[in-house]
Structure 1
Amino acid sequence: MRCIDQLNGVVCFRHIVWLRIALTSFLAPMFIASSVLSAAEAPVPSVVVSLVSTQDVTPQVSHVGRVEAVAKVEILARVEGILEERSFREGSVVQKGDLLFRLETENYRLIVDQKKAELAGAQASLKNAQADLTRKQSLRKKKAISQADLDSAEAAEASAQANVLLAAAALKRAELDLSYTEIHSPITGQISRSRFSVGNLVNEQSGALATVTGIDPIYVTIALSEKLLIDARRQGLDLENPPVAPFLTLSDGSKFDQPGRFDYLSPEVSLTTDTMTARAVFPNPDRILIPGQFVTVSVRQKAPVSAILVPQVAVQKDQKGFFVLVIGEDSKAQVRYVTPGDQVETNWVIKDGLVEGERIIVQGIQKVRPNMPVNAVVGE
């Protein structure tokens, strides 16, 4: 009975082994198929891509510049008188020739009238002297008078001519003084506050009545390193047609929309700063630029330069060199070796290896392997 039990035990064990083998052989293909199915249904990684494009990489350097007025004129009184009228609004833009101040004129008109009368008297004396000279010349021919009488008549006529010239000059001076009672703006610009009010007595020693500042066009000056200009001087500086042009960025970060041009370079290096002053002139019709303010001056080469730029984060490096991951038409990642050039802010110039329009991965690179399909999303 024990042997039977043992035999039965052996039989039962053998049945269990064969049963496991049978089950394994039957279920193995199902497990393999399930694993393959799971791998096939694994989610495709999403990556952010950037389109390769050609961009402007024209060389430029930036400097801090200061805005300066093209002209600044102090308005002075050239004659003495009571200020009777102020014809401008303080802080406004005045045009060349606009009336700014008017002084009392009555006294100067009287002087003009007086000088006119003196001129008329001198002209009358001249006429009389000329007539007397003509008579004496005729008498001298007849030997009716002496040569001394004729010489005296000639001297009187010359003196009368001189008196006419003096009277005419005095009249012009009086008329000029009368014109100075009206003070006009010599330039177009923005006028300051008036330093004198109506009713004040002003003269040549009173100082500036107001100041007119020319702001269109306007200057911007920058200090350039002497070393920076060595190559430029070797090639020859041509201010009539310089190879570079200045562009402005304002203090709020916005770009000034008016183009400028260089018109002056100092002839010597400053002994204290080891720099040379360069000056550019800009149109300023909207009065955006104000004398004294600071701006950023970008000096750019006039001839534009274009190149392929890619973000630095897209460029990787291995033992073979620099590479990027390019998304092909089959939506798979491909390794593409490239030749990087200069750095432009957060981008790299790519000299060789990419063409415009290709898609490169810029985010999610760590999730991708070569020839792996990806879900590409174009970044902003």
Structure 2
Amino acid sequence: MPSALRSCALGSCAFVVAMLLAAPSFGQAPAGGPPSVGVVPARTKAVTETTEINGRVQAIGRVDLVARVSAWLQDQLFAEGAEVKQGDLLFRLEQPPFQADVEAKRAAVAQAEAQLELANLTLNRAEELLKTNAASRSTADNARAAQRTAAAQLRSAQAQLRQSEINLGYTEIRSPIDGRIGRIAITPGNVVGPSSGALATVVSQDPAYVVFPVSVTRLLQLRAQFSTQGGLEAMKIRLRLPDGRVYGETGQLKLQDVSVARDTDTIILRGTIANPPLRGGGHELTHDEMVRVILEGPTPRDILAIPRAAVLTDQQGSYIYVVDDKDVARQRRVKLGQSTAETAAVVDGLAEGERVIVEGVQRARPNAQVAPTPLAPTPAAAQMGEK
């Protein structure tokens, strides 16, 4: 390469390197100067306090459909997975044997009625003859006993007829609740009975239960936290679905179990939440589905909020860096309230208006000079006051 070109190329490279070194960069302090950091002021926001706990959706009603008499399973009258109403006919068992038994029992009732009618006539005749001394008292007593026996036999025959009619009714298996029916366990053509197990299961859909365990310690904290806002019963329940979406309906806490599980030291809480049908069919919530239960306070509370990125943690707990009026970084131990992944709620250790280091935290050192640059509030922090 000619020396002139070589000199030009070297000169260009030197110029580029010089420009790169001279270019400003946030977070890199000038040589010998304090490190640059981004700060935001601590502000009071109206925050709805929340707590997330693992839980499950449970159907309020769940019924196993079991044959109550032994018979041939004749018909399945539903589509698996379909919505059913209370009283819908779902299965039909073979009926002719039970119908024949009903007819036989009706005949037995008719026979018993005839026997009772004859016994009544005999008793009346014996009592009339006794008045004229044309019959002995023993004859009248025997007639009275025969009449009572015939009456008892009629009641027995009527009871047997009623039982036969009940058994005939058992050949039609109907849904006892509104809900969705699952897959069939035994297909038509098989002989079924009380020991055959569930033919299918119906679970109610709307509303649904949400069941979740809470440690006793956490329960006491929640009780104290919301004691002035109506207690636990005033808390709202929302659900985070397995795909991360927050369910659109809001529920209420309805039940606290009466005992604590010894192995986990937790107590079961249960809420009720609406589960309306979707436009395309079905329901959003499914029995036994795992969800994240979001417990929300009934009313927002004013609380100091800062970006979560500002909070550091060590063995002693949580701390932040604040910048004083002399641009010196001060380490500050803080106590956090109910926080989210984006926003930390500070309940102790910080005053409103103090400048908190959010960017460049790793470059800050306790009691060291910094070069603070104000940052715009994050969207999450800006929206907290709108909840």
Q: Same fold (TM over 0.5)?
A: yes
Greater shift, 308-317 or 67-76, is seen at 308-317
Alignment of 1:270 onto 2:267: no
Asked if the contact 1:49–1:378 (Cα under 8 Å) also holds between the matched residues in 2, the reply is no
Q: Is the 8 A contact 1:83 1:198 kept in 2?
A: yes
Q: Identify if the C-alpha distance between structure 1 residues 153 and 240 changes in structure 2 by more than 3 Å, giving closer, same or farther.
A: farther
The aligned residue for residue 245 of structure 1 is 236
Query: Given residue 195 of structure 2, which amino acid in structure 1 is its aligned partner?
Result: Q
- Which residue of structure 2 lines up, in the alignment, with residue 317 of structure 1? 323
> 1:165 Cα deviation (Å)?
0.2
CA-CA distance at 1:132 after TM superposition = 1.4
How many pairs are equivalent? Answer: 304
Opposite residue 296 of structure 1, the aligned amino acid is R
Which residue is 2:343 aligned to?
A: 346
Deviation of the 1:266 alpha carbon: 2.2
> Is the counterpart of residue 210 in structure 1 residue 216 in structure 2?
no
Q: Distance in 1 between matches of 2:78 and 2:309?
A: 60
Q: Which amino acid aligns with 2:184?
A: S
Structure 1 residues 321 and 220, CA gap change in structure 2 (3 angstroms): farther
Which residue does the alignment assign to 1:3? none
Q: Which residue of 1 aligns with 2:137?
A: 147
> TM-score if structure 1 supplies the norm length?
0.68
TM-score when normalising by structure 2: 0.67
Q: What SS does the corresponding residue of 1:77 show, helix, strand or coil?
A: coil
2:305 touches 2:343 (CA, 8 Å); kept in 1? no
State the Cα distance separating 1:221 from its structure 2 match.
Answer: 1.6
Query: Which residue of 266, 290, 299 maps to 1:303?
Result: 299
Instruction: Give the CA deviation at 1:256.
Output: 1.0
Instruction: Tell me the distance in 2 between the aligned counterparts of 1:104 and 1:379.
Output: 70
Task: Report the CA distance shift for 1:183/1:220 in structure 2 as closer, same or farther (over 3 A).
Answer: same
How many angstroms apart in 2 are the aligned matches of 1:310 and 1:55? Answer: 10
Deviation at 1:368, TM superposition (A): 6.6
* Overall identity of the aligned pairs, in %: 34
Deviation (angstroms), 1:303: 2.9
8 Å Cα contact 2:327/2:372 also seen in 1 = no
* Match in the other structure for 1:181: 171
CA offsets, 1:31-57, max 9 Å, x none? Answer: xxxxxxxxxxxxxxxxx9999998541
Distance 1:352 1:219, change over 3 A: same
The aligned amino acid for 1:178 is L
Give the alignment of 1:74-223 within 5 angstroms. Answer: 74-223=64-213
Report if aligned partners of 1:49, 1:379 keep a CA contact under 8 Å in 2.
no
**Aligned residue number for residue 270 of structure 2:** 279
For the Cα contact (< 8 Å) 1:64–1:297, is it kept in 2?
yes
- Distance change (3 Å), C-alpha of 1:341 and 1:121: same
Structure 1 portions without partners, runs of 5+: 1-47, 324-339, 355-361, 370-375
Query: Which digits, 9 at most, give the CA deviation of each residue in 1:94-149, with x for residues without a partner?
Result: 11111111011111111111111110111111111111111211111112111101
SS at match of 2:255: strand
Is the 1:50–1:379 contact (alpha carbons within 8 Å) kept by the matching residues of 2? Answer: no
Output the CA distance in 2 between the equivalents of 1:352 and 1:117. 92
Separation in 2 of the partners of 1:377 and 1:260? 36
Aligned ranges for residues 33-44 of structure 1 at < 5 Å? Answer: none
Task: Pick closer, same or farther for the CA change 1:209–1:143 going to 2, 3 Å.
Answer: same
1:294 maps to 2:290: yes
Compared with structure 1, are the counterparts of its residues 166 and 290 closer, same or farther at alpha carbon in structure 2 (3 Å cutoff)? same
Q: How far apart, in 1, do the equivalents of 2:376 and 2:214 lie?
A: 46
Structure 1 pair 312/173, CA: closer, same or farther in 2 (3 Å)? closer
> Could you list the per-position Cα deviations for residues 270-321 of structure 1 after superposition, in whole angstroms to 9, with x for gaps in the alignment?
2211211111122212321112222111112213324575657899521579
Q: CA RMSD in A?
A: 3.8
Unaligned runs of 5+ in 2: 1-37, 278-282, 311-320, 360-369, 380-387
**Which deviations, in whole Å up to 9, do the C-alpha atoms of 1:186-236 show, x marking residues without a partner?**
222221211222222222222211111223222222111111223566899
Aligned residue for 2:206, secondary structure, equals strand
Cα deviation digits, residues 69-105 of structure 1 (max 9, x gap): 2232211111122222100001112111111110111
1:248-278, Cα deviation, whole Å (9 max, x unpaired): 1112221111221222222222221121111
Write the deviation string for residues 319-352 of structure 1: whole angstroms up to 9, x where unpaired.
Answer: 57999xxxxxxxxxxxxxxxx9967543667975
Kindly tell me: are residues 317 and 119 of structure 1, through their superposed partners in 2, closer, same or farther at Cα, counting changes over 3 Å? Answer: same
Q: CA separation in 2, counterparts of 1:348 and 1:280?
A: 26
State the alpha-carbon separation in 1 of the partners of residues 77 and 263 from structure 2: 46
Higher-Rg structure is 1
Provide the rounded CA distance (Å) in 1 between the counterparts of 2:265 and 2:308. 36
Distance 1:49 1:230 in 2: 36
Verify the 8 A CA contact 2:234 2:253 in the aligned structure 1. no
Mapped partners of 2:328, 2:235: distance in 1: 34
